[in-house]
Structure 1
C-alpha cells in the first residue's frame, strides 16, 4: 500500500481553467476553485474588463474596493494560481482563451452571439465549456444539462451538437423573479463540480 506522502503528491493541482466574466456568479466560481485542495486546477485565468461598483456587494464583502478591476482583486487572493486579465472577451481576442475548461459566466440576451463564438472557438480546440441556463429564481432547483436539449435560456444559443454543459434554473427575466445569492451559490457550486469532473477525467 502506498504511503500517505506519495498519495498526496498524486493529488496536486493539474490543468488550467478560464473563467469568462467575474461578476456575481464568476466570483463565486473563482473563489470555490481557488479553495479546492489536493487537486483542482493548477492555473485559473480570469477575464473581465469591469471594475467593482457600489452594488457589487459580494466583491466588497470580500474586501474589494470600488474602482478596482474585479479580476485583479481576485488575483490578489492567490497570485500563484490566479491570473487576472482585465479585458472583455470579444471576437477580436478569442485567442486569449486557454485551458482545459472554460466557464462562461456572462449571460443575457445581448451576450448570445459572443457566448456562441466562445463555445465554437473552444470546441475546435478540444476545450470543454460550461455556461449558464437561467440565473433567476427564488426557490428553483438548479439543474445541470446539455445546452442542445434545454428549454431554458441557453436554448437560444441554437447549438446543433452536444457538448456544452449548462447550469441554471431555466428561468427567464420575463418570469419576474430576482437573482438571489443562494441560487448563484448553487449554480457556482455545480459549475465547479462539472469542471472538476472534466479535470479528473483528463488528468487521471
Structure 2
C-alpha cells in the first residue's frame, strides 16, 4: 500500500503552486510514496461570498479527511507580513477535532513559502506554519546543509524549508536551485513517513 503525503498549499499568483508541484515530484521520487496535492479556497472579505465547490483550475480543495488519511504533510503558503496566508490559517483552524483525537501525532511534516522580496519574512512564515503542526504532535522535517542548494542559492532556500523569491511583480519563476530544494523536502518527508509507518507496523507484530 502506498504511503500518501498531503501536499497542501495556498497560492495567489502561482509561485507557491509551482513549488507544490516540485514537492510532489520529490515525494513520488521515493518508492512506495504518493503525493496527494490539495489547495485551499481564498478567504473573502465579504462574509456572504463563497468559493465554488470545485476550483476552476489547479488542485482540488482540501477537506479535513485529506489530512487525516495521509501519513505525512508538506504545507506551503506565500508570505503575508511574515506569516502564513489567511486561507491556509483558516483551514488549519478547523483541525481541532484532529487535534483532540491525536490523528496527526507522530507523523512527519515540512513547510515551504514564497515571498516578493528577499528579506520579506521567509523564515518567520515557515515558522508560523510549524507552530500548529507542533501542537498536533507532528515531527518537523527541514533541509540539512548537506543539501548543496542551501549554500548555492542566491534567492530562496532555508534550513527551515524551501523558499522562493518571486519578485515585486510576482513574476520571477522558481529557479532550478529552489525547485531542487522543494524536491528534496518532498523526498525527505516521504522517506520519514515510510520509515515511521514501518516502525509502527513492526511494533504491532
TM (norm. structure 1) is 0.50
Higher relative CO (CA 8 A, sep ≥ 6), structure 1 or 2? 2
